[in-house]
Amino acid sequence: MSLKRGSERESCDFCYRRKIKCDRSTRLSDGHDTCSQCCLRQTLCRVDDSKDIRVRKRRQENVRGLDTRAQTLPRHARQDERPTPSGPMADIDMDTTTACHPTHSLQQRDPPTHSSIPPDETYTFITDSVDDIDFSDPMFGLSSDSAYFLDQVFMQETDWELLDLNDQPSVSETPDTRNISRQTMDGLPKDPVMEPMNAGQLQSLLEVAGVDPNVFDGALHAYFDKAAPSLPVVFEDAFWLDYGARRCSLALVSAIACRGMPFTGVENKWQLQQQLGREFRKALLEAQQTASSQSSIRLDELEALALMVNFEFEDDHSSGLESRLGNLFLTHESLVLMTLELRDDSRALSTQALGSSLARAQERRTLLFWHVYGLDAFHCLDRSCISRIQDDHVELVEQRPSNQFEGYLDAILALALIARKTAQTLCSSKAKRKGVKLHEIQCLFDHLHRWHDEAGLSCLQLQGSDCSQPKAKAKCRKSSSAQSTHGTQLQQAVLRFLELNCYMQIESIVAQNGTKQDALEGEILDLRVAHETLRAISDVVGAFDWETMVERQNRQSDLHSLFDLAPQLLRDICAGVCTWMCLRGRALQHGSQDATVCADRRKLASYAKVARKMRSAVASATSHRDTEEVVARLDDQLGLFKDLVDPAQPCLA
């Protein structure tokens, strides 16, 4: 079905790919917005001709012609009238909000202004430039391409009219909400549609948990100041707006206070954290029963579950039923399934859970999708399993975000894509039966190297082993001075350690599944994997000032070590590196390599030095109760490894 030269394609993407007749144009004249094939399959009928260079050039020329004619009009005509295209321009809609391609609802809704600058050709699936999401902090930058990709993955539709939030006030127009506390709740307007939390419920929560109101407010602020920068789940300004207007759910309030309680200076903070955790579980299970009858769940309740999905409860005998129910519903799999259920009832989501009841609801939904997608990617990689989230259908093959990252969220999303690709490639049933292929491993390493070059260095200017070069020292010092904030250093460390985790998981999966090649190629593969893992560990060890990262809390009482702020990311990965170094050193000593390597005490001492450094990093996470157990396990590993090295070595003194 070739097109006549100069004519634009009228068939939708579905019919065009399958080379079948499309009646989209005739059905549009009858008032239908989909063709018969897409209507039968209940899929979105769209026309994406952004890759057609002829159409793109024609539209650019039309825009330039329109600007030229507008400049020739008198000044009063240009101010009072909008030129109406005629002739060939009549059938070209210049308004991006009504074009054939869906426009993300997070972009501004002001009337578009025409410019003679041609549209950016780096976008692969959105023809018109769209504004980036306003994530308050520029370090959080998530592009509209990434937001559109996440909506396609979880919603599998782009019917933005269902989630239109035009009636919702803009956050930029509201006063500063960072200082809103529990005492100012009565002075803010209440939501007439939904009021899930009142003053009596909050007071009951404080009484049951045994938390002082000032301590409770301090825990809420501590979460956003300490824990949120490394792994954001909810926007701070949006939460304070909902909290002050009594719109947010009791489960979300309990979850945020529970996660922020370890960073307070209260003596019994761990006991209070467990009490708040149990109150969260009770509130969420009650909300789950209500949602079962309404076939939908609130957005902020999903945010609460995302915050608490890895929380370890210390239950007593009186909470046996709640504990068993929590083991069923408060899991990672439950979070993924409930997030995927949003696509089944999008209209109910827009009128009940999103709507105008929650501040920045559309942006919060996108942030939740980002969190669940990334969390699931690394969760499946760590456990060598395949994800339940399907993103490999035809409509998304050519719509993955490009390697042009605008901030922290974009960089993690790109790394999550690599982690998902790694799990799908190395953890499939075929790979487990026949082994891993050499070219598959090389392809994964190429992806990681490209991510490091394009996201790590160009986006966040991470300092690594390159800073040891004389020519790069001045540039690295300049970058370090420009990005010396605590939050930036925390995000740099998270990106580095997540990248290291990918290398270590590849090494673990290859060792578990074996290789498919013959003896020679198999040995090449083993050496390549070991080389990449050791190089990644060496880069991380040389990338940061470890004394500053570990001993930060000793300088000022209100600051914590970076490993204390992100225990599930930095602390746990450091513990894994420590264990890996101990096991590898013991394997070298017991003869897995040749005798000359095994006899090299200096190599074993260097392994022990890195292991001790990682152990010290883990021990610096003093705000969390389970750190003592993690350190005890690492001490056992180091004790077994200590006998293999000369006791006179200073690293083990």
Tens digits of per-residue pLDDT, 484-514? Answer: 456 678 888 899 999 999 999 999 999 888 8
Neighbours of 274 (CB within 10 A): 21
Per-residue pLDDT band for 205 (boundaries 50, 70, 90) equals confident
Most confident of 95-109, 337-351, 576-590: 576-590
DSSP tag of 33: S
Please report, to the nearest 10 degrees, the dihedral formed by the alpha carbons of residues 527, 528, 534, 540 taken in order. 180
Distance separating alpha carbons of residues 3 and 624, to the nearest angstrom: 64
Residues whose CB falls within 8 Å of the CB of residue 442, separated by 6 or more in sequence, listed in order: 528
Q: Are 197 and 234 in contact (CB under 8 A)?
A: no
What's the pLDDT score for residue 407? 82
Residues 296 and 416 occupy one common structural domain: no
In a domain, 189, yes or no: yes
* pLDDT tens-place string over residues 631-649: 999 999 888 877 666 544 4
Residues 250 and 282 occupy one common structural domain: yes
Question: Mean per-residue pLDDT for 1-25?
Answer: 77
Question: Mean per-residue pLDDT for 338-355?
Answer: 59
Residue that wins the pLDDT comparison between 159 and 129: 159
Residues 511 and 582 occupy one common structural domain: no
Distance separating alpha carbons of residues 561 and 250, to the nearest angstrom: 30
Question: Mean per-residue pLDDT for 78-107?
Answer: 37
549: pLDDT strictly greater than 70: no
The residue whose two tokens read 């890895």 is: 310
Distance separating alpha carbons of residues 342 and 332, to the nearest angstrom: 16
Residues 304 and 332 occupy one common structural domain: yes
Residue that wins the pLDDT comparison between 363 and 169: 363
Q: Encoding tokens for residue 427?
A: 């953890």
Question: Mean per-residue pLDDT for 350-368?
Answer: 72
Residues 373 and 246 occupy one common structural domain: yes
Residue that wins the pLDDT comparison between 650 and 151: 151
In a domain, 457, yes or no: yes
568: pLDDT strictly greater than 70: yes
In a domain, 11, yes or no: no
Residues whose CB falls within 8 Å of the CB of residue 508, separated by 6 or more in sequence, listed in order: 384
What's the pLDDT score for residue 203? 77
Q: Encoding tokens for residue 204?
A: 């009951």
Residues 263 and 324 occupy one common structural domain: yes
HEC string of 403-440 equals CCCCCHHHHHHHHHHHHHHHHHHHCCHHHHHHCECHHH
User: Which of 524, 544, 564 is at the close of a domain?
Assistant: 544
As beta bridge partners, residue 436 has: 515
Question: Mean per-residue pLDDT for 383-394?
Answer: 79
Distance separating alpha carbons of residues 126 and 146, to the nearest angstrom: 11
Q: Are 142 and 410 in contact (CB under 8 A)?
A: yes
Q: Name the strand (E) or helix (H) holding 154.
A: helix 144-155
Per-residue pLDDT band for 400 (boundaries 50, 70, 90) equals low
Q: Are 238 and 364 in contact (CB under 8 A)?
A: yes
Per-residue pLDDT band for 393 (boundaries 50, 70, 90) equals low
Query: Considering only CA atoms, which of 463, 461, 650 is closest in space to residue 542?
Result: 463
100: pLDDT strictly greater than 90: no
Residues 576 and 531 occupy one common structural domain: no
φ, ψ of residue 599 in degrees (nearest 5):
-80, -5
The residue whose two tokens read 């949006």 is: 238
Residues 514 and 406 occupy one common structural domain: yes
Query: Considering only CA atoms, which of 574, 565, 587, 586 is closest in space to residue 633?
Result: 574
Residue that wins the pLDDT comparison between 176 and 629: 629
Question: Mean per-residue pLDDT for 28-39?
Answer: 85
Number of domains in the chain: 3
Q: Encoding tokens for residue 254?
A: 């309990």
573: pLDDT strictly greater than 90: yes
Q: Which of 125-134, 377-386, 438-447 has the lowest mean pLDDT?
A: 125-134
Question: Mean per-residue pLDDT for 296-306?
Answer: 89
pLDDT above 90 covers what percent of the chain?
26
Average pLDDT, the chain: 72
In a domain, 70, yes or no: no
Distance separating alpha carbons of residues 281 and 254, to the nearest angstrom: 9
Per-residue pLDDT band for 92 (boundaries 50, 70, 90) equals very low
What's the pLDDT score for residue 212? 87
Residues 645 and 614 occupy one common structural domain: yes
What's the pLDDT score for residue 368? 94
Report residue 541 CA to chain centroid gap. 25
In a domain, 94, yes or no: no
What's the pLDDT score for residue 131? 35
What's the pLDDT score for residue 224? 94
Residues 259 and 370 occupy one common structural domain: yes
Helices (H), 455-485: 458-459, 470-482
In a domain, 150, yes or no: no
Q: At what angle do helices 601-619 and 627-642 cross, to 10 degrees?
A: 170
Residue that wins the pLDDT comparison between 598 and 108: 598
What's the pLDDT score for residue 288? 78
Q: Which of 51-60, 114-123, 325-334, 442-451 has the lowest mean pLDDT?
A: 114-123
As beta bridge partners, residue 515 has: 436
The answer to whether the predicted template modeling score (pTM) of the entire model surpasses 0.75 is: no
Per-residue pLDDT band for 556 (boundaries 50, 70, 90) equals very low
CA distances from 547 to 198, 487, 501, 554, 562 (A): 46, 17, 22, 11, 11
Three-state DSSP state, 436: strand
Residues 342 and 372 occupy one common structural domain: yes
Residues 299 and 370 occupy one common structural domain: yes
In a domain, 648, yes or no: yes
What's the pLDDT score for residue 83? 40
In a domain, 574, yes or no: yes
The residue whose two tokens read 């903070």 is: 269
Q: Which domain holds residue 413?
A: 402-544
Neighbours of 359 (CB within 10 A): 25
User: Which of 476, 511, 544 is at the close of a domain?
Assistant: 544
Per-residue pLDDT band for 17 (boundaries 50, 70, 90) equals confident
* pLDDT tens-place string over residues 466-483: 443 433 334 333 433 433
Residue that wins the pLDDT comparison between 402 and 76: 402
What's the pLDDT score for residue 28? 85
603: pLDDT strictly greater than 60: yes
What's the pLDDT score for residue 294? 55
User: Which of 544, 572, 607 is at the close of a domain?
Assistant: 544
419: pLDDT strictly greater than 70: yes
Question: Mean per-residue pLDDT for 15-20?
Answer: 82
